[in-house]
Amino acid sequence: MAKPRILVTRKLTDPVEARLAADYDATFNPSDRPMPAAALAAAMRDHDALVPTVSDRIAAGMLQVEGRRVRMIANVGVGFSNIDIEAARDAGIAVSNTPDVLTDATADTAMLLILSATRRAFAAEKMLRAGRWGGFSIVDGLGTSIQGKVLGIIGMGRIGRATARRAAAGFGMEIVYYNRSPVGELGFEARRLESIEAVMAAADVVSVHVPGGGAAPLVTAAHIACMKRSAYLINTARGDSVDQDALIEALARGRIAGAGLDVFAEEPEVPKALREMETVTLLPHIGSATQEVRTAMGHVAADNLDAFFAGKELPCRVV
Ligand code: DGY
């Protein structure tokens, strides 16, 4: 029997590409750049499945393209806001994601940003690399200790919990959080507050862990206005989960102390105003970027493809 035809839209790690090449009639995008929308739409007609990443926008029009052959999308990412999920459901296209394997790496990145922002690491390194360091000082470049401070988690899912656990157990932070629905036993001390506003107002550091892709940002200008002047905002989830313009305005006016961002509203565009601020640490969406984790994510996507073409239940079905 002919092997299913799959399109892999971006470069994956070598072991994952080798597995897909062995098991499928796989087309690999030779460049590690997002494919143009027209090429992706055309590929919908002559492949059985797509293996995209979170940087590939798969809109309704693409899923409804005349003569579509794709029946399965194995997204390499836990987030799937790049795919119009309702349109996929309507078209009867199965979609899977890659949860769990990236939880720890992403929580590590949240901690990295919390520490970098509160300790003003970017400004200090910039000064040193510019050859402006005059030597040790007791009073220059002082940051803020996080020990005993309040970490506010917006979205107590897998990555929110892993971040809170690290902050509580490893760094002595007190945890408050907002989650739409009650969460079960966390295994560490944390207080659930009734609203996003309450968490924003109580926290010294706010860390955002909610999916993107909504019609409007979940964390709004009004929420940011509730933050303490001394507080920091961290985002390792999706850029469109936070009102980016309002965040820039708050940072520019000194309404909050700083931020640590791994994700942006219109990636790869990062507003100049942010790039010029010394009070923010900026990373290029590397939350899960370790060799081990990116390979594990690829294998989870491959496991989902295998299950689909074997007629079995998908291990990580989204729709
Ligand atoms: C995801 O998986 O959704 C991340 O944003 C990319 O690793």
Q: Is the CB of 78 under 6 A from ligand 1?
A: yes
Answer yes or no: do 111 and 225 share one domain.
yes
| Residue 207 reports pLDDT greater than 90 | yes
CA–centroid distance, 204 to ligand 1, in Å, is: 26
Residues 35, 116, single domain; the answer is no
Residues 119 and 180 in one domain: yes
Domain-embedded: residue 179: yes
In a domain, 315, yes or no: no
| CA 159–ligand 1 middle distance (angstroms) | 11
Instruction: Please state the atom number of ligand 1 nearest to the C-alpha of residue 77.
Output: 2
Q: HEC profile for the chain?
A: CCCCEEEECCCCCHHHHHHHHHHCEEEECCCCCCCCHHHHHHHHHHCCEEECECCCCECHHHHCCCCCCCCEEECECCCCCCECHHHHHHHCCEEECCCCCCHHHHHHHHHHHHHHHHCCHHHHHHHHHCCCCCCCCCCCCCCCCCCCCEEEEECCCHHHHHHHHHHHHHHCCEEEEECCCCCCCCCCCCEECCCHHHHHHHCCEEEECCCCCCCCCCECHHHHHCCCCCCEEEECCCHHHECHHHHHHHHHCCCCCEEEECCCCECCECCHHHHCCCCEEECCCCCCCCHHHHHHHHHHHHHHHHHHHCCCCCCCECC
Given a cut of 90, is residue 289 above it in pLDDT? yes
Distance CA 105, CA 126 (A): 26
- Protein residue whose Cα sits closest to atom 1 of ligand 1: 77
Residue 236 lies in a domain: yes
Domain annotation covers residue 19:
yes
The answer to whether residue 75 scores a pLDDT higher than 90 is yes
- In short, whether 54's Cβ falls inside 6 Å of ligand 1 is yes
| pLDDT 10s digits, 271-284 | 999 999 999 999 99
Confidence of residue 30 (pLDDT cuts 50, 70, 90): confident
Residue 234 forms part of a structural domain: yes
Shared domain for 94 and 166, answered yes or no, is no
Is it the case that residue 1 has pLDDT exceeding 90? no
- Domain assignment of residue 318, yes or no: no
Residue in 19, 238, 294, 299 annotated catalytic: 238
Q: For residue 80, which atom of ligand 1 is closest to its CA? A: 3
- How many angstroms separate the alpha carbon of residue 55 from the centre of ligand 1? 9
Nearest to 71 by CA among 49, 90, 86: 49
**Do 204 and 94 share a structural domain?**
no
Average of per-residue pLDDT across 202-214:
97
* CATH code where residue 230 lies: 3.40.50.720
* 210 band by pLDDT with thresholds 50, 70 and 90: very high
For the residues 46-67, what does the mean pLDDT come to? Answer: 96
If one counts the domains in the chain, the total is 2
274 CA to centre of ligand 1 in angstroms = 22
Is there a domain that residue 275 lies in?
A: yes
Gap from CA of 78 to ligand 1 centroid (Å): 5
How large is the average pLDDT for residues 21-33? 95
Domain that holds residue 116: 103-282
Whether 109 lines ligand 1, by a CB cut-off of 6 Å, is no
Is residue 52 domain-shared with residue 89, that is, in the same domain?
yes
- C-alpha 267/C-alpha 253 separation (Å) is 24
Mean local confidence (pLDDT), 58-79? 97
* pLDDT tens by residue, 133-180: 999 999 999 999 999 999 999 999 999 999 999 999 999 999 999 999
Same domain for 183 and 35: no
221 and 305 both lie in a single domain: no
Question: Do residues 139 and 243 both lie within one domain?
Answer: yes
Which of 78, 250, 244, 83 is closest to 160 using CA atoms?
A: 78
Two structure tokens written together for 79: 């987030």
Query: Mean per-residue pLDDT for 297-305?
Result: 99
**183 and 252 share a domain?**
yes
116 and 263 fall within a common domain: yes
267 is catalytic: yes
Residue 211 and residue 305 share a domain: no
Assess if residue 317 is contained within a domain: no
Instruction: Respond yes or no on whether ipTM tops 0.90.
Output: yes
Nearest-atom number in ligand 1 for the CA of 76 is: 2
